[in-house]
Amino acid sequence: MTTILNFLKPYKLLCFFTLLVMFVDVAGSLLIPTIMAKMIDAGIEGKDVSYMIQSGKIMLIVAIISGLSALLGSYLAATLSSKLGRDMRKAIYGKSLEFSSYDFERFGTGSMITRTMNDVNIVQQSAVWLIQMVLPVPAVCVSGVVMAFIIDASMGFLLIGAIVAIMSLSVFITRKASLIFDMLQKFLDKMNVLLRENISGVRVIRAFNKEKYEEKRMRKSFEDYAESAIRANRLFAALESFALFAVNFLFVIILWLGGNRIGIGLMEIGDIVALAQYVAIISFYIMMAQMVMIMMPRAIICVRRILEPLSRTPEIKDGNMSLDTSMEPTEEVVSFQKVSFRFADADENVLENLNFKCKKGETTAIIGGTGSGKSTIAKLILRFHDATSGAILLKGKDIKNLTQRELREHVSYVPQKVWLFSGAIADNLTHGSEPADEYRIKRALSAAQAEFVYDLPDGIYSRVSQGGANFSGGQKQRLSIARALSKKADMYIFDDSFSALDFKTDAALRKALAEETKDAAVLIISQRINAIINADQIVVLEEGKIVGIGNHDFLTKNCRVYQDIAKSQMAGQPFEGG
Amino acid sequence: MSDYNDNVDIVSSDSDFEIPINARQTIKKLWRSVGDQRGRLTAVLLSVFVYVLLSMISPMYSAYIVDRLWMDVKEAAEHGAIFRISLDACGRDILFLLLIYAVTAAFYTLQSFLMAGFAEKLNLRLRTEISEKLNKLPLSYFDRTKTGDILSRLINDLDKTSEVLQTGALKFFISIGLIAGSLVMMLRLSVALTIIFLIFMALALAATKFVSAKTLRFSKLRQQRVSEATAQVEEAYTGRVVIKAFNLEDNSYKNMSQAMDALADAHLKAEFFINAINPAIRLINRFGQVFIAVLAGNMLIEGRLSAGMFQAFLQYLNQASEPFTEAAYMINSIQAALASLERIYDMLEEEEISPEPASPSVINRAFGSVEFQNVRFGYTPDNILMRNVVFAVEPGQKVAIVGSTGAGKTTLINLLMRFYELNGGKILLDGIDIKTMTRSNLRDNLGMVLQDTWLFDGTVAENIAYGKPEASKEEIIAAAKAARADFFIRAMSNGYDTVLTNDSENISIGQRQLLTIARAFLRDPALIILDEATSSVDTRTEIEIGRAMKELMKNRTSFVIAHRLSTIIDADLILLMQNGNIIEQGTHKTLLKAKGAYADLYYSQFA
Cβ-nearest to A269 among B70, B289, B542: B70
pLDDT score, position B2? 32
pLDDT score, position A80? 93
pTM: 0.78
- Whether B244 sits inside 8 A of A384 (CB atoms) is yes
pLDDT score, position B494? 83
Greatest Cα pair distance, chain A, in angstroms, is 119
Rounded Cα distance, B22 and B16, in Å: 17
- Sheet strands side by side (includes A363-367): A411-414, A491-495, A521-526, A363-367, A537-542, A545-550
Helix (H, G, I), strand (E, B) or coil at B192: helix
Distance from CA of B24 to the nearest CA of A (A): 27
Rounded Cα distance, A213 and A175, in Å: 37
- Whether A245 sits inside 8 A of B102 (CB atoms) is yes
Average pLDDT, stretch A68-97? 94
- Whether A192 sits inside 8 A of B261 (CB atoms) is no
Give yes or no for a contact between A52 and A43, defined as CB atoms under 8 angstroms apart.
yes
> Is any Cβ of chain A less than 8 angstroms from the Cβ of B253?
yes
Give yes or no for a contact between B479 and A220, defined as CB atoms under 8 angstroms apart.
no
Nearest CA in chain B to A224: B124
- Whether A97 sits inside 8 A of B243 (CB atoms) is yes
- Whether A118 sits inside 8 A of B7 (CB atoms) is yes
Give CA separation, B107 vs A572, B48, B49, B104, B184, in Å: 76, 7, 9, 5, 22
* Cis, peptide link before residue A136, omega less than 30° from 0: no
Strands B557-561 and B527-531: parallel
Is residue A238's pLDDT more than 50?
yes
Give B307's contacts in chain A (Cβ within 8 Å): 40, 43-44, 269-270, 273
Give yes or no for a contact between A77 and B275, defined as CB atoms under 8 angstroms apart.
yes
Helix (H, G, I), strand (E, B) or coil at B186: helix
Give yes or no for a contact between B514 and B488, defined as CB atoms under 8 angstroms apart.
yes
Give B58's contacts in chain A (Cβ within 8 Å): 248
Phi-psi sector, A405: left (phi>0), alpha (psi -120 to 50), beta: alpha
Query: Could you report the per-residue pLDDT of A1-31, keeping only the tens digit for each?
Result: 566 788 888 999 999 999 999 999 999 999 9
The residue type of A307 is L
- Whether A63 sits inside 8 A of B286 (CB atoms) is yes
CATH class as words, domain A2-311: mainly alpha
Give residue A329's pLDDT band: very low, low, confident or very high (50, 70, 90).
low
- Whether B297 sits inside 8 A of A128 (CB atoms) is no
CB neighbours of residue B156 within 10 Å: 15
- Whether B311 sits inside 8 A of A273 (CB atoms) is yes
Give yes or no for a contact between A477 and A497, defined as CB atoms under 8 angstroms apart.
yes
- Whether B242 sits inside 8 A of A415 (CB atoms) is yes
Cβ-nearest to A60 among B106, B247, B290: B290
**Which parts of B157-244 are beta strand (E)?**
none
Task: Supply φ then ψ for residue B585, to 5 degrees.
Answer: -145, 150
pLDDT score, position B108? 92
CB neighbours of residue A369 within 10 Å: 22
Helix, strand, coil percentages (3-state) for chain A, rounded to 5, are 65, 10, 25
Give B229's contacts in chain A (Cβ within 8 Å): 89, 117
- Whether A195 sits inside 8 A of B150 (CB atoms) is yes
Cβ-nearest to A59 among B293, B540, B568: B293
Of B155, B123, B456, the C-alpha closest to A185 is B155
Is residue A489's pLDDT more than 60?
yes
Domain spans, chain B: 19-189, 191-304, 370-606
Cα three-residue angle B361-B364-B370, rounded to 5 degrees: 75
The residue type of B558 is S
| B198 Cβ neighbours under 8 A, 6+ residues apart | none
Of A369, A496, A570, the C-alpha closest to B540 is A369
Distance from CA of A399 to the nearest CA of B (A): 14
> Is any Cβ of chain A less than 8 angstroms from the Cβ of B286?
yes
Nearest CA in chain A to B68: A259
Instruction: For CA atoms B305, B311, B316, B321, give the dihedral sign.
Output: positive
Is residue A574's pLDDT more than 70?
no
Mutation choice for A interface testing from B5, B122, B131 by most A CBs within 10 A: B131
Task: Supply φ then ψ for residue B420, to 5 degrees.
Answer: -130, 160
Rounded Cα distance, B545 and B511, in Å: 9
Radius of gyration over every alpha carbon of chain A, rounded to an integer in angstroms: 36
Task: Decide: residue A272, CB within 10 A, 0-12 exposed, 13-18 middle, 19+ buried.
Answer: buried
Distance from CA of A138 to the nearest CA of B (A): 20
Q: ipTM of the assembly?
A: 0.85
pLDDT score, position A488? 85
Of B286, B578, B569, the C-alpha closest to B412 is B578
Give B283's contacts in chain A (Cβ within 8 Å): 63-64, 67-68, 70-71
Average pLDDT, stretch A90-102? 92
Task: Supply φ then ψ for residue B528, to 5 degrees.
Answer: -130, 140
Query: Could you report the per-residue pLDDT of B160-176, keeping only the tens digit for each?
Result: 788 787 777 788 888 88
Query: Could you report the per-residue pLDDT of A294-313, keeping only the tens digit for each?
Result: 878 888 888 998 999 999 99
Give yes or no for a contact between B387 and B581, defined as CB atoms under 8 angstroms apart.
yes
Average pLDDT, stretch A71-99? 94
Bigger pLDDT: B144 vs A365? A365
Which of 3.30.450.20, 3.40.50.300, 3.40.50.920, 3.40.50.1100 is the CATH number of B370-606? Answer: 3.40.50.300
Distance from CA of B433 to the nearest CA of A (A): 18
Which of 1.20.1560.10, 3.30.465.10, 3.40.50.2300, 2.30.30.230 is the CATH number of B19-189? Answer: 1.20.1560.10
- Whether B291 sits inside 8 A of A196 (CB atoms) is no
Give per-residue burial for B448-463: e unless 16+ CB within 10 Å, then b.
Answer: bbbbebbbbbbebbbb
Rounded Cα distance, B607 and B604, in Å: 6
Distance from CA of A461 to the nearest CA of B (A): 19
Give A207's contacts in chain B (Cβ within 8 Å): 417, 443, 446-448
- Whether B105 sits inside 8 A of A39 (CB atoms) is no
> Is any Cβ of chain A less than 8 angstroms from the Cβ of B46?
no
Query: Could you report the per-residue pLDDT of A425-445, keeping only the tens digit for each?
Result: 888 888 756 566 788 888 899
Cβ-nearest to B565 among A73, A78, A575: A575
Nearest CA in chain A to B97: A252
pLDDT score, position B6? 35
Below-50 pLDDT ranges, chain B: 1-14, 607
Rounded Cα distance, B533 and B556, in Å: 20
Give B11's contacts in chain A (Cβ within 8 Å): 121
- Whether A55 sits inside 8 A of B62 (CB atoms) is no
Domain spans, chain A: 2-311
Give residue A284's pLDDT band: very low, low, confident or very high (50, 70, 90).
confident
Phi-psi sector, B90: left (phi>0), alpha (psi -120 to 50), beta: left
Give B582's contacts in chain A (Cβ within 8 Å): none
Number of Cβ pairs < 8 A linking chain A and chain B: 462
- Whether A78 sits inside 8 A of B162 (CB atoms) is no
- Whether B264 sits inside 8 A of A83 (CB atoms) is yes
- Whether B294 sits inside 8 A of A55 (CB atoms) is yes
Beta bridge partners of A538: A365, A550
